[in-house]
Amino acid sequence: MAGIRVVRVYDDAEPKSRYRVLVDRLWPRGIKKEDLEYEDWNKEVAPSSELRKWFGHKPERFEEFASRYREELDGSDAPQELLDAAGSKPISLLIAAKDEKHNHGIVLRDYLKELADQ
């Protein structure tokens, strides 16, 4: 499996050779749909609204958030479907979160890497 990385939607677009997928449940604020370069918007791999609201981007809740989010991913076909859709292309997981160390994109990236290695 080619590389999987997390990219903020507000950063410059990466090479078109990557499979760019928005993995937020909500559309990012301040970005027009026609201005974002992406191949897919996969809401199904995003944390549930309830979990996202509980987390509230509070770093002290990140470890518990990650555990709960992984449980959600375990109960879904969406992660494998995302890998299948990307094919052999490297993946960029597009997120809107400001905190680059405590966000669902990191958890999803690690989960997808583990899934791809099975």
Where do the domains of the chain lie? 4-117
68-83: per-residue pLDDT in tens? 999 999 999 999 999 9
Q: What is the distance between the alpha carbons of residues 98 and 85, in angstroms, rounded to a whole number?
A: 27
| Token reading at 94 | 């597009």
Q: 112: Cβ–Cβ under 8 A, 6 or more apart, which residues?
A: 4, 79, 82, 83, 91, 93
Mean pLDDT taken over the chain: 92
106-116: per-residue pLDDT in tens? 999 999 999 99
Q: Which pTM does this prediction carry? A: 0.93
User: H or E stretch including 91?
Assistant: strand 91-95
